[in-house]
Chain A
Amino acid sequence: MAGGTNKKSFINVQNRYGWFFVSIAIVLLGVFLLYPIFHSLYLSTTSSKGIVQKFVGITNYTRLFKDQMFLIALKNTFIFFIIQVPIMLLLGLVLASILNNKSVKFRGVFRTAIFLPAVTSLVAYTVLFKMMFGLDGFINTMLLNLHIIREPIPWLLDPFWAKVTVIIALTWRWTGYNMVFYLSGMQNIPDDLYEAAEIDGANKIQQFFYITIPMLKPIIVFTSIMSTIGTLQLFDEPMNLSQGGVTGSTTGPGNSLLTLSVYIYNLCFKFMPNFGYAATVSYVIVFIVAMLAIVQFKLAGDKK
């Protein structure tokens, strides 16, 4: 009997220590993460002009469909997402499978170099790209000298080219980062799978599609969800690539770089602040991320 109570009190004490260790984090995350998430959901049903705030129900949500700026931001964000994420992930996969091959020389050097862009700050590399892609900047000078183009490309002055620049910049920054995930996943693919395929007469490209990609599925799903979240939150790059940055009248030529996050920022801090409506736009991002994550899990036929 005595042993039983002792054990019980030990478990009680253990439980108390458990709460003690997690307490600071729980309090901080409760206040600075969970509460804001729910509060913003509530805010999205209110309208505030200045300090007056009133309940408006779903009016904010219906307003979205008529809001030209929102629709532009949504369209831009989607273009970045649909074009950039697949290019980057495929490039990362191809590079990883080349560098995973032990017969390739200087693997370490290539791996380090290609990962290097991932250590730069988003603002720093964006500003660097803004200078490189100026009308008389380095890229145009080089392309003209190599006689690839006859006239300078208006990289950051034309709505189409501005988007291309963002896509190039994002791909530069994140390909190596994703490649490292794939490389670490490839360590777990047994060599005999490739050897068996070799004997069966499968070439390298077939091996890539029939062994590497299926074996890496969980990691590919993970990187694509991370990239989805990242792309839908795109802020630093469009803000710093556009003329005038935070204070500019449009984000990119003809608002071609206006993303959802930039629009939320503008609604809160640039125009007459309307926190309620801004919160509505932010919940659109939450909704899209959730939908896309479900789609990606389904596409991968996840069993776990």
Chain B
Amino acid sequence: MDAKLSTVGFAEPLVLAATEIDRQSFHTETFVPERLKIPSIEVDTVIQPVGKDRYDRMDTPAEADEVGWYRYGAKAGAKGNVVLSGHLDDLQGPAIFANLDQIRLGEQVTLQRNKQVIEYEVVSVERYRVEDVPLASIFAATQSVRLQLITCAGPYDPEHGYRDRIVVTAIVKQ
């Protein structure tokens, strides 16, 4: 396997200063997301918390029209990676993220829980061989307030599944 190294981005660490930070906002602005809306590809669905499966992969919900939120990652609006996985298809046909690769830079992705809403803006749409997915950029700590949407792509092999993954990265709108 001759994995081409993908260049890594920057993490924007917090500069500590002698100025008061709004302490209220620190605890109230983040939430476990329950609803995902991506108007440009007509996604409006329920989010289920997921962990890892027995192969140590991030899990996906049983329902093909729902999306999984990685509960070891960041909450909506929080510093770090909010990671969402959704099916490309099930055995019958297209699933919730069938059109994820159609999303364009600058388009809006919204996470909601009741009246709490956080909006993100798409900054990259990448396709990787599954073995080349930059896992640490998706799952490890970062100082950015980021959202990662993942689905399958490419040729399908019954033994190994889909060859590729689509990774859409969005950053919080200021």
Q: Determine if chain A interacts with chain B.
A: no
Interface residues, chain B, with chain A CB atoms under 8 Å away: none
